[in-house]
A = this chain, B = another copy of it.
Amino acid sequence: MSALPRYAYLGPEGTFTEMATRQMVLGQDVEMVPVVDVPTALGAVRAGDADYAVVAIENTVEGGVTATLDTLAEGSPLVILGEVVLPVEFDLVAPAGVEIANIQRVSAHPHAWNQVRRWANEKLPGVTFVPASSNAAAALAISQGKDVDGIPAEAALAPPGLAAWLGLEVLADHVADVAHAATRFVRVGRPQAVPAPTGHDKTTLSVHLPTDRAGALLEMLEQFAVRGVNLSRIESRPRSDRPGEYSFSIDAMGHIADRRVAEALIGLKRTCPLVVFLGSYPAADATPTPVAQGTDDGAFVVAEDWVRGLICGSD
């Protein structure tokens, strides 16, 4: 019987999600559970079939933001416990002796191919794409001289680092249509004590607006601004259940245990029809969150003591 923590992730093996998962659990013994899509991964956590899910949440290449954010926010509560950001780029790999000029077919997972189509159009004109169940499977087949689903290919797109393991050559690296493209992955679990603040945290929320009048969004954002809380992401999402109304997916800079963030959440909770807390966790970018004057915990404590003193007349 396995006592290892079970991680559900978008499989099959060789996906970026798998890479992200492995990076998150570095040095730990875990059980990897590949699943067919993001809702299935999150559903496995909700059902207790997995302890955690790792899913792409932003700028994604393997299905996406939308599905992840919606599925996180609806249904029984889940929270984000951490994040990693992976660059979206590949190696073009082939057995020793193959040169770019000889390549007629390239195998890869369709999502990977989608990220390099422009590059392939320019650098490998006329080449044929051979879909594989995963990038790793494509590279493995090529390293063994086998066909991919019955079709031979001379080269494959592989995650950086895989070529060395399989004894393949790297014909081109940093292959990507969009420079600096990256995907953000998050580790999701059932509600539990929030990870301790680090000084470079994010708090992810889903918020429904009270009404759709012009000032409603402004009033919601004032709940953050008056406490000096910056947002690092905001995306409106039309509500399928209420035409003309919107929910907002938000990453606030700071941790729910920071006074300024806690008070902003209290303000949202009081005034918005629905606020879903999706976790406070260390930002992958470990730059300390700037804290404006008068918005650190000390300033809150001083001001609260002042008000308490006034009520008692001890001032």
Residues of A within 8 A of B (CB): 36-37, 39-40, 59, 63, 66-67, 70, 77, 79, 110-111, 114, 117-118, 121, 131, 149-151, 177-180, 191-194, 212-215, 217-219, 221-236, 238, 240, 244, 246, 256-257, 262-263, 265-267, 269-271, 277, 287, 292-295, 299-300, 302-304, 306-307, 310-315
- A70: chain B residues at CB < 8 Å are 178
Min Cβ gap A310→B in Å is 5
Q: Are A304 and B266 interface neighbours, CB within 8 A?
A: yes
Q: How far is the CA of A312 from the CA of B266 in the complex (A)?
A: 16
Closest to A275 in B: B306
Closest to A40 in B: B118
Min Cβ gap A49→B in Å is 15
| Assembly stoichiometry (copies) | 4
- A114: chain B residues at CB < 8 Å are 63, 110-111
Q: Are A194 and B224 interface neighbours, CB within 8 A?
A: no
Min Cβ gap A193→B in Å is 4
Closest to A212 in B: B230
Question: With A59-B66, A236-B233 in contact, do A270 and B299 touch (Cβ < 8 Å)?
Answer: yes
Question: With A37-B177, A304-B266 in contact, do A194 and B311 touch (Cβ < 8 Å)?
Answer: yes
Question: With A66-B59, A110-B131 in contact, do A193 and B306 touch (Cβ < 8 Å)?
Answer: no
10 A-B interface contacts by CB (under 8 A): A110-B110, A111-B114, A179-B240, A192-B313, A214-B229, A228-B271, A263-B263, A265-B303, A265-B306, A271-B294
Question: With A39-B118, A114-B63, A218-B222 in contact, do A300 and B270 touch (Cβ < 8 Å)?
Answer: yes
Q: Closest 3 interchain pairs by CB?
A: A110-B110, A269-B303, A270-B294
